[in-house]
Amino acid sequence: MKRFSKGFFYLLILPIIWGFFGWQGWMWWSWASAAPQGEQQVNGSVESGNSVKILIPPGTSSQQIGEDLKAAGLIRSDLAWRLWARWLIFQDPQGDFKAGTYSLAPSQSLSEVASKIWKGEVMTLSFTIPEGWSIQQMAEYFEQQGFFSAEEFIAASRQIPVQDYAWLPQNLPLLEGFLFPDTYQVEATEVTPQAVIRQMLNRFQEQALPIYQQAQSQQNLSINQWVTLASIVEKEAVVPEERHRISGVFHNRLQKGIQLAADPTVEYGLGIRQTVDQPLTFKQVETPSPYNTYINVGLPPTAIASPGLASLKATLTPEKTDYLYFMARYDGTHIFSRTEAEHQAAIAEVERNLSTQ
């Protein structure tokens, strides 16, 4: 009878007990590892599926990460987190959770949240700087995007990191022209004027600097003169096909010692922008400024905007012509002239066309 009872226990009762606890364990794990889906509020007010920004400082233990995630309503159980963390370490002993700022959602399962932090898929912000923007325009853009204030960015642009970028011109008052226009991704924890500027300088170093270095022996332009002239070409050229020709006009005027007479330099010096309806006045053109190329011969002291690659290249490879003047038709194209008389005729033609519109 005893043998029967013991055999009956091992063959029937014990498997039932194991099955029961296994089922209970599986049910618990299914619950603990599932997405909270908004069942717990985040900061008392987050609805289901909304993303949550969470910062994981360097050196944070996996246990602390789990506790922080549970407190934020992003996982249901910190015990389940610890178990899953051990499983990840077992699979990849060299891996670890990565510090940074993450955008997570209560609609994500524990394994999805863990995978994102394990791989270091940190939260990033994107920003785009168009060709031809000045530092002032960038500053206003960053403030509108909520990155930082315009004043902070302008102040940072006046700090010249020559110790890290030896190719930057000496005695440069600000980084105008050297903040390369492009689209960037920056980690949320690094959204500072200094970090953004460093990214843009790195991109200039990668994309633009090699072009100058390769052509330097064929040009008599310093890097500051190159970028400054390219910024004027950038502001004047609208139609890509005219870019090299406009560059050629400016090169011709520089060689002959004639003022560049570029409207964008006057606008930059005065902090204004002309339009078809409100062109520059004679008083504005005659206002003294280091940037006024109607008054001063040669180039301004710095660039007036951030030139793109096309303008940087065109400045090094100007079109060889006899043109000394060009007049905007206000449709993106220009009339090019060799003499003052031709230029005055072009001005009269444009004014007649505008008056009939």
**Any idea what DSSP says for residue 98?**
P
52-122 is classed in which CATH architecture?
Answer: 2-Layer Sandwich (3.30)
- At 54 the pLDDT is 86
Mean pLDDT of 194-204: 97
Q: How confident is the model at residue 190 (pLDDT cuts 50, 70, 90)?
A: confident
Q: What is the pLDDT of residues 127-136, one digit of tens each?
A: 999 999 999 9
**DSSP per residue, 115-183:** HHHHHT---EEEEE--TT--HHHHHHHHHHHTSS-HHHHHHHHTS--TTT-TTSPTT-SS-TTTS--SE
- At 44 the pLDDT is 40
Q: What is the pLDDT of residues 14-57, one digit of tens each?
A: 566 656 566 676 787 788 788 887 544 444 434 444 788 888 88
Whether pLDDT at 188 is above 60: yes
Mean pLDDT of 52-73: 89
- At 220 the pLDDT is 87
Q: Which of 19-28, 140-149, 344-353 has the least mean pLDDT?
A: 19-28
- In the chain, the percentage of residues whose pLDDT exceeds 90 is 64
Q: What is the pLDDT of residues 233-268, one digit of tens each?
A: 999 999 999 999 999 999 999 999 999 999 999 999
Beta strand residue intervals within the chain, DSSP E: 52-56, 100-104, 124-128, 183-187, 325-328, 334-337
Where does the chain hold its CATH 3.30.1490.480 domain(s)? 52-122
- At 10 the pLDDT is 53
Tally Cβ neighbours within 10 Å of residue 69.
25
Mean pLDDT of 78-83: 90
Please state, rounded to an integer, the average pLDDT across all residues of the chain. 89
- At 288 the pLDDT is 96
Mean pLDDT of 61-88: 90
- At 1 the pLDDT is 46
